[in-house]
Structures are given as C-alpha cells and as structure tokens.
Amino acid sequence: MKRRGSGILLHITSLPSFYGIGDLGPSAYQFVDFLSETKQSFWQILPLKPTSTAHGNSPYSSFSAFAGNTLLISPERLVEEGLLSKADIKDHPSFPDETVIYKTVTEYKTELFRAAYGNFKKRRQKDYGFVEFCNENRYWLDDYVLFVTLKESFGGAVWSEWPEDIRDRKGEIRKELKGKLKDKIEMGKFLQYVFYKQWHSLRAYCNSKDIQIIGDIPIYVNYDSADVWANPRIFKLDENRRPTFMAGVPPDYFSSTGQLWGNPVYNWDFLRETEYAWWIRLIEHNLKLFNIIRLDHFRGLVAYWEVPAGEETAINGRWVEVPARDFFDKLLKRFSSLPIIAEDLGIITPDVKEIVDLYGFPGMKLLLFAFGDDVATNPYVPHNHVKNCVVYTGTHDNNTAKGWFRKEARPEDKRRLFQYLGRKVTEETVRQEFVRMAMMSVADLVIIPMQDILGLGEEARMNTPSTANGNWEWRLLPGQLTPSVAGELSEVTKIYGRA
C-alpha cells in the first residue's frame, strides 16, 4: 500500500455465472485477467462470511466470523475436482443474469452439494487435504458446523432459545449430539473444505498476477452466531446468555435517534485477560485469506457506543473506551506487520485519529462526501488528501456516482462540484470526473467500485443501509467488460502513475 496503485471494488456474488450467483469459478479468474490487463494492483471484496435470507443476505450479518459462504462454491470447479459430473450441472434453473435471487440459488446449490458430498464420501479416505483442513481449523470449524446443524434441527430458533443444556454447551450433551448428527456435521465440514480450497486457488492466481486482495472484517458479530454461542465470556451477556448491551452509534446529523445495530458488544476486560486470543485468531485467519484487510467501523476498536438491551433507539447509550493501544501492541507482537485499512468514515473523534496515526493505518476518503459545505477544508476533497489513505468514489453502502448526481445531490452540491472542476458535467459524464479525481489524488491507493467504472445508475447500487430488502443483489452482466471499458481504465491508470 506504500506505492501508487489502484483497484476495483467488486464482490464475488456480483460476478457473472450460469448458476444464479457469482462464484469462485471461471468468471472470477476472467475478472483477475481483466484487472491484470487494465494495470490494476488490487481487488477489494466484501466479507466472505455465510449469508442467510433471515438476515437479508448481508455479508456483514453472519452466523460465523470464520466460516466461508458456501453459496460461492463453483459448480464447474466441483466437476473439475471429480465431485460432480457434467450432467449434474447441465440442467439448472433459468437464473436472471442481472440479479441474485438468494432463495432459489440456495435451494439449487443445496441439492448439488448433497450430490457432491455423496461422491466425496466414497473417496474420503484418499483425501488427506480434508483431514488436514479439519485439524488446522478445529478451533472454529467444529463449533460452527455443530451450531448450524443444531439451528436447522431446532427450526431456525435463536441459540438462546434452545434447551438449556445445549444452549450452555454441557460437555456430555455435546458429545451425544455430535454422534447423532455425525453425517450432517461431516457434510458441513466438507463444504467449508471445498470453499476454502477454491478460495485459496483463486487467491494464488491473483497473487501470481501481482494483484493483492483486500478483504473486509466486520467489527461486530451477530448474537445468533457460532462465535457468541461458543465464546459467551468475550461478550457482555447475562446469566441466561442474552445480551446486556447492544452495539450502535449515537444520534448525529443523519439520524436524530442514532443507529441501533443489535449486535452484542465485546467484554474487553475479559479479552484483555486472555491477551485478545479470539481477536488474534480472527486477524490471523483473515491474513491467510487476504493480502490486506479493511476493518469496518474502526472507531469501535478505540471507543464504542453501547446501548442497554431493550432500548428501541440508540439515544440512551454511552461511550466505552477500548484498551486500543494494548490491543494493537499485542497484535504487532504476534504479526510482523498489520496491513490494515481503517474504515474511519463519519464523525471521527481525536482519540480515534490518534490511534490511526500512531499505527500508520491508512484511512478512507470518499469523493461522494466531498462537495457539501466548506469544500475548502473538507477532508474528502482531493486537495486535502494525504499519501497514506485510500480514496474511493463511493463504497458498497453508497449510491453510484451517477445515481448520486441524479437522485441525491442537491443543487448547491452540484454547483460546488462544477466550481471545483471548473466546468459543468452531466449525469452521463460525472462518473468519469470522479474516477479522474480519484486517480489523480496524492493518495497511494485508489479503489473504484465497478459500477462507477461502467457508469451505472442507482439501479446498480449494492446496499442501502437501514433497508431490509433488495440489497446485495446486483450483478455484472456477461459482456459488460468490453475492450472500450478496458482501454479507458487502462489509460487513466497509466496517466496518473498507478499502473
């Protein structure tokens, strides 16, 4: 990250494929080739965690901080590995190219996975990689597959509503359950093995092309997750293992009641006593997956807003300090370097800035936030950028540049943009101007969402925060990465010294 470079933000689910959702198959490798051809150095993705329709299919709301999203397993790769036949994947539903319909995809792939597991069982003794994977990942894998298997057995109920001896993980009952559910548990381990095998193959291909992968770590985990069920002491829970506090952010300019996320907050006193063992394993796990990690809601690792359980808004919360220096010092003792991007958007207090500067973490600058009041001093405007930061036109939580211009920008925002550029632009040309502004920045690293490379509108937005439906569904169409698109991106990358 200490040299000029650029890359593209595109999640795996958004890649083209024949099977209803982007996956780790041929299109992923073709996209890496596109990145290489256009002189890009980075590919940023969203979390790879399991998603569920119950949580709006959000990769930021998962049953595990460690497991992989098996919906991303490539059917073609399963054929290559001899786990399926070509006939198995020939007759598939007619999926739309432009969007992900998660329910249909899940139903289809579940049947494929059952067939693949059936074939795997016949040759399991010969697959030493599976045994090695299970041994290396036992610290999270055993709890995760037991958790999701039990959750299915209990009709999807939250784990705190399970029978008390199972809820509290009594030793004998766990052994008994593992015996009864052995085959389902083994299938769960098999699917994680296949996912990570396919992922590491793709990462190796990226790195062979001198392309680094930027992955994303959500700071909080779901209450209804294997992590909280298996590690209740690292969260603030009561005697019935229910949260005593919830995470969120206080009221601000954007919301008079703040945001109440509902995730349990960490018990940092206990984490400190254990020398942050859980967090160290999480960072280690992600550094095996990615070259660089973006820590979402970084400020929560310095001080976080906790709201008493039962509150309906985030108003009645309080700031709680985190032992940030001790935490990051421990991480640096464990890892020779911390290739971390700090998501420091929004209102950032001096204590957060102090930690970011102390450890040299690059923060984020969004051009969509640059043309409000006080352009001269706005930290997101290009002339106020610094070398050690990552510039985006927007992120997965924002509108596209074209959508912003057409639907969200006020007349005064547009006027300030025109004054800054020295000319007027239209909804058709605004994305080119934003890409150029990002690329010409002094910042070492620039990441452009694929939607802005293509000049797409609000219909291509990935996520609208605080909405439950219609998110995480956008997909890149086959054939959209034309020679013209590649030529334009390659040219602007070379001109501004990022090739």
Assign residue 237 a region (left: φ > 0; alpha: ψ between -120 and 50; beta: otherwise): beta
Exposure b/e, 84-96, CB count within 10 A at least 16 = b: beeebbeeeeebe
Catalytic residue numbers, as ranges: 296, 343, 397
Whole-number Å distance between alpha carbons of 449 and 455: 10
Return phi, psi of residue 22, to 5°: -60, 145
